[in-house]
Amino acid sequence: MESIIRTEKLTYSYAAAEGEASAPVLRGIDLEIEKGTFVAILGRNGCGKSTLAKQFNAILLPEGGRVLVSGMDTLDEALVLEIRRRIGMVFQNPDNQIVASVVEEDVAFAPENLGFPPAEIRARVDEALRMVGMYEFREHAPHLLSGGQKQRIAIAGVLAMRPTCVVFDEPTAMLDPQGRADVIHIIREMREEYGVTVVLITHHMNEAVYADRIVVMSEGGIAMDGTPGEVFGQVEAIRALGMDVPETTELLYELNKAGFDLPLDALTVEACAQAISRAL
């Protein structure tokens, strides 16, 4: 399968304060994201996942090693614009991504930067707004929208570039449950209906269960890498890394300790209930 993002021995550290040694944030990471997949990246605060995400679209550049986006090296300044067009990014704070006072003007920001003719921009804006279900709000003022709606506008703003891959850096961290559900729904739809590659960085385990692959980071390196079933099934290992498993997995794990024999990869509520009912 074609790789969209590939990192080779990627190293990075933040500039140190005076008198202190710089702390490496990314330690020689080798990671490959394949086209059309949905990869979730998990890890405790400070493990380097946000820093890694910003390497994907050349917001940050490697100190050592390199990052290739569809074969293009992020260190090559001439290619940065094309890289950023292909790898869209959605961030945690909905407010701090919105640039305009009218929804459709904000969604138009990216295509305007890319120099498309006005009619083309209009078409992309409408398309993107429809994809996130916010077309009726196109003439509204963003600051009057809810957090979930603002985040959907931010996603539309990225989709207007027609990226190959979208990286989501904790997109639901500041949203209420309704907003979270809406955003996750769109993320899954993007992947399933439009074939967009998705990289989701999150703390919420129950969002990661929908991914094809889970990468767990710890202290600047990759600690675990596998399907959700494989990764969450290793309950002890996850806990040792200071993280938690989805409640469904926890339930199955505890039931197994009490004598049941249940598969640990029944991650969704539905799968979990089915697995339990079969055992009884």
- The nearest distance, CB 122 to another protein, in angstroms, is 6
For tokens 């921009």, name the residue: 121
> Which of 102, 104, 24, 97 minimizes the C-alpha distance to 64?
24
14, 22, 23, 118: which one contacts another protein (CB under 8 A)?
118
Alpha-carbon torsion angle 49, 52, 54, 60, nearest 10 = 130
Give the Cα separation of 51 and 226 in Å (integer). 21
- The nearest distance, CB 162 to another protein, in angstroms, is 12
Give the interface segment with another protein, choosing from 3-11, 19-27, 28-36, 95-103 (CB under 8 A): 95-103
Q: Residue 69, interface with another protein (CB under 8 A)?
A: no
DSSP string, 239-279: HHTT----HHHHHHHHHHHTT----TT--SHHHHHHHHHHH
Q: 161 to 180, contacts with another protein by CB under 8 A? A: 161, 173-174, 176-179
Pick the closer one to another protein by CB: 28 or 114. 114
Half-sphere exposure of 97 (CA within 13 A, CB side): 25
12, 38, 91, 137: which one contacts another protein (CB under 8 A)?
91
Q: 19 to 58, contacts with another protein by CB under 8 A? A: 44-46, 54, 57
Q: Residue 207, interface with another protein (CB under 8 A)?
A: no
CB neighbours (10 Å) of residue 45? Answer: 9
Assigned token pair, 148: 């979930």
Per-residue contact flags (x/-) with another protein for residues 215 to 254, judged by CB under 8 A = ---------------------------xxx-xxx-xx--x
Q: Residue 206, interface with another protein (CB under 8 A)?
A: yes
